[in-house]
Structure 1
Amino acid sequence: MGVYALHVGDFADHDLAAFPVDTRAKRPAVKGWQDANASKSRAWARSPKFASADGLGIVMGKPSGIVEVDVDAVGDAWLAMAVERYGETPITIRTASGKSKLWYRHNGEGRSVRPFSDMPVDILGDGFTIAPPSRRDDLGASYTFRTGCLDDVANLPTIPAGAIDMPAQRAAGTVRSGERNASLWRWCMAEARHCDDVEALIDAAATWCSAFLDPLATKEVEGCARSAWTYESSGRNFIGLKKPQLTNGDMIMDGLIDQPEAYALYLLFQRWHRNRPAFAIAPRAMSDAGSPPWPRRRIESARDVLIERGFITEVRSPRKGRRQCGLYSLTPQSLPGGGVYSDCAQIRAFSGASA
């Protein structure tokens, strides 16, 4: 049996009707999931076709009495910010990809994707969510309760009045079959300015269009999102002009912002060696020459950070016996939206194209 058949009884015992879900595609595995009840849940669990499902879905809103705050970013800082804005709750969830969900008592909230431009958060007051202990075999991880459990569903608080200021936007549930692709593409173009990469946009798009009365295939959702991201990353997104375009220099700074010495050393290597296939790093000689003016061990430590984070590659290890220093090369870095660069000229070219 899969996760669904093993745990559907636990949900039924807590008055939550669960249905099987394809966790990788984030789609219900059955038709009529909106009308799930205890009888249907158990019938699906008896079917060999659905019992093996590794995902449990529950309907948000009035049927379950739950509204979910879906934090679509990894990190405890985002979870803490969501708790600060929407209030304490006994149930918080870690998704298979390391993101967070918070459950509250439904109080008439609807479904809103990214209601605030400063937070990667969706409010799910209808549609469905994937619940613990659903599993993603492709990620080798499961949805888990960070805090609380199903016993706490009966004691969920409501979101404080005023915490949700829903923007005016077309509800996905009103989009008709002939309008789905065009509506989703335009939504992705507007949403792209709030996403850090194409995978985040694909995930947000899947959440928004999951409320379509006639769902799109996963490939179509990904196609719309990737098309919109191509416009965004190349600076041609005239629907999402409010988001500043990021250069790869910005991304390098973000990748080393907590290691300022490694960042400074990387910039020196770019200046000196950007057109060389490989170059030597001799910490003692560099320290003696004052380039940079640091002790040998600080240079070694900064070098090791650059290796660990993939900014430089070790071509040949240092050999003390032969008194040979190590040989290294700059690692080509990914450009936003795809592609790579390996020298400053390409950074300038990309920045100009994105302006």
Structure 2
Amino acid sequence: MRAGLFEHWQAEYAERRVSTFPVRPDKTPAVRGYLGIGRKASEQMAMSFPDATGIGLACRRNRITVLDVDTTDERILADGLAQYGDTPFIVRSGSGHYQAWYRHNGEGRRIRPDTRVPIDILGDGFVVAPPSQAIAGVYQIIRGSLDDLQCLPKMSDASDKSSPSLSAGDSEPHPVTANIRSEPGRTILLGQGRNDDLFRQCLKLARTCKRLEELMDKAMEYNRGYPEPLPADEVLKVIASAWGYEVEGKNWVGYGPRLVMEATLVGSLAAADPRAFALLSILRLQHKADGTFILAKSMTETLKWSINTFRGARDALIERGLIECIHAGGGRPNDPPIYRFKGVNL
């Protein structure tokens, strides 16, 4: 039987260690939790959505940053490559716009870093990937091949332009952005600072809005408070992005750090072995997915567990292939065992 579009290309991307998810023709994700999808979950979606006509990928998750050139003007693309560096992988969207792909280097999601140029830096969120079939047309690779995804260069001029994490505190504005004080308690930003300020404000407002139209009214009113308000179409883009975070349960502004767990893992582990699930949750919350951590019996004091309970939970995670010991320890005083996370869905 011939594979459908998403089923076929999901496998092609997976061979290059890129996890994808199905996208509708209107370029909206067909599944929830798409920003956290790993390759195992992606493979399952290929069986559930074999004939989906669109392919999406989470930028940060797959260590990819996209220079999104929102125009058909090749001169703008050339200028973007001159500023941010050349890349072997370039895509033309169904509407004739361009994407230049790079290796992720900490970039955030920046809408119009230079308000005079229709270019966005997408180091977070998701992008529609080739050869997706959207309403406007087919996404095509016009330079390179999927094999180039494993050797993409980093952007040469974007390390200081990444937007703050949604769960982080306030950060310094971009160094070229001018700040002025226009009303008590509110710092109004010019340039790209307006986008960041409005986006964060929209995330705060979205938590109190029941409908998108309500958020639009409040955001438009907030925008009018800038000495130089953003254009209406730009405001609508910011609103749509913030509302997307809200309806997908990704709006964490004001709530502090959050832990994302795969639904399949919750279903298989939480009920079967709640102690192991609790231990894994604590470890993921405290340690980076690609880092190492100490897992010694002294942890029982913090958890208030017996040593047998602790060892049982630890061993269950090892047996399920969720963690692995890379250093047994005990060879000398103060030589604890060291572990790391295992698997792709971290």
TM-score, scaled to structure 1: 0.51
Spell out, residue by residue over 1:202-229, the C-alpha distance to the aligned partner (whole angstroms, 9 max, x if none): 6x4587347513259xxxxxxxxxxxxx
The code of the aligned residue for 1:3 comes to L
CA distance, structure 1, for counterparts of residue 115 and residue 81 of structure 2: 17
Asked if the contact 2:53–2:133 (Cα under 8 Å) also holds between the matched residues in 1, the reply is yes
Aligned to 1:142: 138
Tell me the SS of whatever aligns to 2:87: coil
Instruction: Please tell me whether residue 30 in structure 1 is matched to residue 31 in structure 2.
Output: yes
Secondary structure of the residue aligned to 2:102 is: strand
The counterpart of 1:155, out of the listed 136, 151, 154, is: 151
Contact 2:56–2:126 (CA under 8 A) maintained in structure 1: yes
Distance in structure 1 (CA, Å) of the matches to 2:66 and 2:125: 10
Query: What letter is aligned with 2:44?
Result: A
Paired position in structure 2 for 1:192: 231
**SS at structure 1 position matched to 2:241:** helix
| Identity level (%) | 29
Q: How does 1:319-338 map to 2 (within 5 A)?
A: none
Deviation digits for residues 123-147 of structure 1, max 9, x if unmatched?
Answer: 11111000000002x33x2101111
TM-score, scaled to structure 2? 0.53
Aligned to 2:90, which of 92, 95, 113?
Answer: 92
Distance 2:145 2:231 in 1: 34
Flag the 1:44–1:98 CA change in 2: closer, same or farther, 3 A: same
State the partner residue of 2:13. Answer: 11
Going from structure 1 to structure 2, the CA distance change for 1:208 and 1:183 (only over 3 Å counts) comes to: same
d(CA) in 1 for partners of 2:239 and 2:16? 28
For 1:213, the equivalent position in structure 2 comes to: 246
Take 2:103 and 2:243, find their aligned partners in 1: how far apart are those partners? 22
Cα offset, 1:6, TM superposition? 2.0
1:215-270: CA deviation from partner (whole Å, max 9, x where unpaired): 59xxxxxxxxxxxxxxxxxxxxxxxxxxxxxxxxxxxxxxxxxxxxxxxxxxxxxx
The answer (yes or no) to whether the contact 1:23–1:130 under 8 Å persists in 2 is: no
Q: Counterpart of 1:45?
A: 46
**Cα distance in 2 for residues equivalent to 1:206 and 1:20:** 24
SS of 1:133 mapped into structure 2: coil
Q: In 2, are the aligned partners of 1:60 and 1:129 still within 8 Å (CA)?
A: yes
Aligned length: 204
Provide the secondary structure at the position in 1 that maps to 2:208: helix
For 2:246, the aligned partner's letter is L
1:1-355 correspondence to structure 2 within 5 Å: 2-24=4-26, 26-47=27-48, 50-61=49-60, 63-136=61-134, 138-139=135-136, 141-161=137-157, 165=161, 166=174, 167-168=192-193, 169-170=196-197, 171=199, 174-175=203-204, 176-179=206-209, 181=213, 184=216, 186=219, 190-192=229-231, 204=237, 208-209=241-242, 212-215=245-248
- Aligned counterpart, 1:318: none
Tell me, in whole angstroms, the C-alpha distance in 2 between the residues paired with 1:108 and 1:184.
30
How far did residue 174 of structure 1 move?
3.9
Letter in 2 for 1:30: V
Aligned partner letter, 1:58:
L
Distance 1:15 1:67, change over 3 A: same
Larger radius of gyration: 1
Deviation at 1:2, TM superposition (A): 3.9
How far off its partner does 1:182 sit?
5.3
Q: Deviations over 1:11-53 (max 9, x none)?
A: 11111010001131x2110012122111111111111xx2221
Sort the Cα spacing of 1:163 and 1:87 in 2 relative to 1 into closer, same or farther, 3 A: farther
Q: What secondary structure does 2:43 align onto?
A: helix
SS of 2:82's partner is helix
Output the CA distance in 2 between the equivalents of 1:15 and 1:207.
30
Shift of 1:89: 0.7
Structure 2 residue ranges without an equivalent (≥5)? 162-173, 175-191, 250-346
Q: Residues 51 and 177 of structure 1: is their aligned pair in 2 closer, same or farther, counting only changes over 3 Å? A: farther
Q: What is residue 265 of structure 1 aligned with on the other side?
A: none
Change in 2 beyond 3 A, CA 1:54/1:210: farther
Tell me, yes or no, if the aligned pair for 1:23 and 1:135 is still in contact at 8 Å.
Answer: yes
**Larger helix fraction of residues:** 1
* Structure 1 stretch displaced more, 183-192 or 154-163: 183-192
Structure 1 runs not aligned, ≥5 long: 196-200, 217-355
Q: Structure 1 59/88 Cα, relative in aligned 2: closer, same or farther at 3 Å?
A: same
Q: Is the 8 A contact 1:91 1:149 kept in 2?
A: yes
